[in-house]
Structure 1
Amino acid sequence: MSKPLILASTSPFRKQLLEKLNLPFSCCSPEVDETALENELPQDLVLRLAKLKAAAGATKFTEGVVIGSDQVAVINNKIIGKPLNRETAIEQLSQSSGQSITFYTGLALHDVDSGQVEAMVEPFIVHFRVLSQRAISRYVDIEQPFYCAGSFKCEGLGIALFERLEGKDPNTLIGLPLISLIDLLHRQGIEVL
């Protein structure tokens, strides 16, 4: 690998996903204001934040390629965040019952040397089963998904909540679309294999 790889994220989930590629990388905290702009569409928000995170990470290094990523969950045209508590998690999952949630994940690569940025947004749709209040409460008590957008952990018992998943790459749902990342890295001259 010719250029150092940097992940501009403090997310342990993104770090675990990037480790799947078996490439050496370092991490940094991007320290970016993630507040949405007035009337900003979810896709525009995650694209802007992914670019900002990659750019913020690029200021901390003299060489390399910085990966920035951001994700939002949308149900009925409304962004839903992390529930942070049991009551909100139950409320979010009750709203999701029998519905579909779209996750938009922004991905940006920033070349520190050239300043070149490549970015994209990848959607992923989760179709929920019709869920009873008992099932929702039981799930929340078992997994405690209080710091997960949409109030579930798809890599755990959350899979029992879904009727089906729709998207290019299941890693997108966890926060880093690896198939698209591999394509962007290839264009930067970084080969995974």
Structure 2
Amino acid sequence: MKNYQLVLASTSPFRKQLLEKLSVPFICISPDFDETPLPNERPKDLVQRLAIGKATSCRTGQDSLIIGSDQVCVIDGKIVGKPLDRNNAIAQLLAQSGKVITFYTGLAVHNTATNHTQVGFDTFEVHFRVLSRDQIERYVDREEPFYCAGSFKSEGMGICLFNKLVGKDPNTLVGLPLIDLIDMLQTQGFDVL
């Protein structure tokens, strides 16, 4: 196995916590990439482009495998960003009440030694309970999910908002598809086990 430095191209504490599950040493680097969506860009294309951009924008001084990931929430066919404040979070959750929303998470692994980048994406469905405005406001005031796609933290009290979750990898919902990542790292000669 080649001795690669593992790099997470992210400042997200959630992605860092997920990667820590694998018990492998890694460093985090803040990616330098414009994340503005292109006009009429489909969700799967957007998250894959952003994952590649994040992974390839980071520079290291040694042979590295750089992991980039990005996620969007799609409600009624429309890409929804992070709410950033209380009012937007409440509005997003009201729009999601009683509906099924889909998360698209892009994943890229860039090998700096070969200049090759693997890319893919995973989806995850969230089935929301029918929620009252009071329930939503109490949730938002407790967890303040202002920097989370979809306005919730599934790893916290957000689980109370759902009646079903559907997907291959629950880590995808939080922002880093670990099952796919392990496979990608394996093809690059990095065996997590």
Match of 1:136 in 2: 136
Check whether the contact 1:47–1:70 (CA below 8 A) recurs between aligned residues.
yes
What number of residue pairs does the alignment pair up?
192
Q: Distance in 2 between matches of 1:142 and 1:27?
A: 29
Contact 1:61–1:112 (8 Å) recurs in 2: no
The answer on whether the counterparts of 2:5 and 2:62 sit within 8 Å (CA) in structure 1 is no
1:150 aligned counterpart, secondary structure: helix
Letter in 2 for 1:104: Y
Cα pair distance change 1:61/1:48, threshold 3 Å: farther
Aligned AA for 2:42?
L
Q: Which runs of 5+ in 1 are unaligned?
A: none
Quick check: 1:88 aligned with 2:88? yes
Secondary structure in structure 2 of the residue aligned to 1:50: helix
Q: CA deviation at 1:9?
A: 0.7
Matched, 1:174 2:174: yes
Report the identity percentage. Answer: 61
Q: Is contact 2:86–2:146 with CA below 8 Å preserved after alignment?
A: yes
Aligned alpha-carbon RMSD (Å): 0.9
Q: CA deviation at 1:38?
A: 1.1
Q: CA deviation at 1:60?
A: 3.3
| C-alpha displacement of 1:62 | 3.1
Corresponding residue for residue 64 of structure 1? 64
Task: Detail structure 1 runs of 4+ shifted over 4 Å in the superposition.
Answer: none
User: If the length of structure 1 is used for normalisation, what is the TM-score?
Assistant: 0.97
Query: How far off its partner does 1:61 sit?
Result: 3.4
Aligned counterparts, 1:89-168, within 5 A:
89-168=89-168
Alignment of 1:79 with 2:74, yes or no, is no
- The residue type paired with residue 101 of structure 1 is I
Structure 1 pair 37–25 and aligned structure 2 pair: CA distance change class (3 A): same
1:38 correspondence with 2:68: no
| 1:113-147 Cα distance to aligned partner (Å, 9 max, x none) | 10111110100110100101111111111111111
Please report the TM-score for the alignment, with normalisation by the length of structure 2: 0.97
